[in-house]
Amino acid sequence: MAKRFKATINPALLTWARTTASYDLADAAEKIKVEADALSAWEAGQDQPSIAQLRKLATLYKRPLAVLYLPEPPIDFQAMHDFRRLPDMGPRRFSPGLALEVRRAQQRRELTIELYQENLVAPTPFSLQTNDGTDPEAVGDQIRAALGIRHDQQGRWGNQLPAFREWRTKIEEAGVLVFQASRIESDEASGFAFWAETFPLIVVNRKDVYPRRTFSLLHELAHLMLRQSGVSETNVDAPRPAADARIEVFCNHVAAATLMPRAQFMADALVAQRPGTHEWPDDAIQALSVTYNTSREGVVRRLLTFGRVTQGFYDRKRAQYAAEFRAQRQREREARGDDGIPRDMPRETIADFGRPFIRAVIENYHQDRITLSDVSGYLGVKVRHIPVIESQVGMA
């Protein structure tokens, strides 16, 4: 029998890698097909994994093998505050997919800063700021003015995808990195934000429909204006501390006020002709959602804010829209079948990474500071896709 070579490592690295990847001990052991007691013994320093087993752990935890040979665990990005948990519930444990997206977003931000420094370019400072004592309606007006969004311009965007892209571009131009994540389940989180003086970042869930992504963008922007980091769950009714509940209500109100400014919304003919509380027809709600490039639920919530519908009407509509969304997703899965939809890697790369990050990478390649292989690695695509990406971001 071949001799089993064990990996000589600091066991603290195994615990660090597992917990930062958001696996509990039993799940991690099951994934690499060992007993939980064995993994526990490795982490306690009572035994050591084989080199082959260590490779499996590195793959599972999405860490380079060499990292697990470091003398001490590195300081990792763990600055995310959870806005939705009560103190007696303990700290929230992210899913492995969400934990990975948080880590990758921070790595991209750090790389962006390095690339800007190499190219001797100063990042655009993010100057928007507020506090949760400010009128959310006024903050919405502040955001629109700062981003240069006019009501007539918003009405010409046509549909939800161009609207999302326009809001995203404007926010990026204000000095924010905006990424999209595909490893977060829709029922876990709508997005997250990380506050920093240089290149604060927002990540939205790519599995959400475009109106929801746009709302998440503006919700997370409000968090950045408060100088706060955090993960926002999709369940608005989840229990949470009073202070955090107030912040979440504030950020939701800001997002709605930015998308649907009070003056324009209340002056809209569909709203003005119904001055009291009403049961609204679906076609009127749909028409308002098209006008403001937002979701039907967002429209009904705005009507509730201004006393034009009852809480019961809002609750019924919210349940209706959720059921319709689930049914639509099921139809889409059945239509795709096993083959799925062919992937457009250049388009996906731009959507996920954002133009500021991609331009920083390609600009450094043009200046011979990084190689084409580096570009491929940073963007996670094959070299053959790079010219198309370069053309689509206007750098060809």
Are residues 190 and 216 in contact, defined by beta-carbon separation less than 8 angstroms?
Answer: yes
Cα 99 to Cα 95: distance, rounded to the nearest angstrom: 6
Q: How far is CA 232 from CA 174, 190, 199, 266, 289, in A?
A: 22, 6, 20, 29, 23
Summarize the confidence of residues 120-137 as an average pLDDT: 92
Higher pLDDT among residues 255 and 83, named by residue: 255
Summarize the confidence of residues 295-305 as an average pLDDT: 94
Higher pLDDT among residues 140 and 394, named by residue: 140
Summarize the confidence of residues 219-240 as an average pLDDT: 80
Are residues 39 and 25 in contact, defined by beta-carbon separation less than 8 angstroms?
Answer: yes
Does position 31 have pLDDT exceeding 70, yes or no? yes
pLDDT digits (tens, 9 = 90+) for 179-227: 999 888 877 888 999 999 999 999 999 988 899 999 999 999 999 999 9
Higher pLDDT among residues 141 and 92, named by residue: 141
Higher pLDDT among residues 41 and 120, named by residue: 41
Does position 263 have pLDDT exceeding 80, yes or no? yes
Q: Which residue blocks in the chain are alpha helix, DSSP H?
A: 11-20, 25-31, 36-44, 51-60, 96-118, 136-147, 151-155, 160-173, 210-225, 242-259, 262-267, 269-272, 282-291, 296-305, 311-336, 345-353, 355-366, 372-379, 386-392
Sheet containing 230-232: give its strands across.
Answer: 177-181, 201-205, 191-194, 230-232
pLDDT digits (tens, 9 = 90+) for 382-391: 999 999 999 9
What's the chain's average pLDDT? 87
pLDDT at res. 84: 41
Are residues 206 and 343 in contact, defined by beta-carbon separation less than 8 angstroms?
Answer: no
pLDDT digits (tens, 9 = 90+) for 346-373: 999 999 999 999 999 999 999 888 899 9
Query: What is the helix (H) or strand (E) element at residue 179, kind and residue range?
Result: strand 177-181
Structure pTM? 0.85
Pairing between strand 201-205 and 177-181?
A: parallel
Cα 262 to Cα 271: distance, rounded to the nearest angstrom: 11
Are residues 228 and 81 in contact, defined by beta-carbon separation less than 8 angstroms?
Answer: yes
Summarize the confidence of residues 31-36 as an average pLDDT: 92
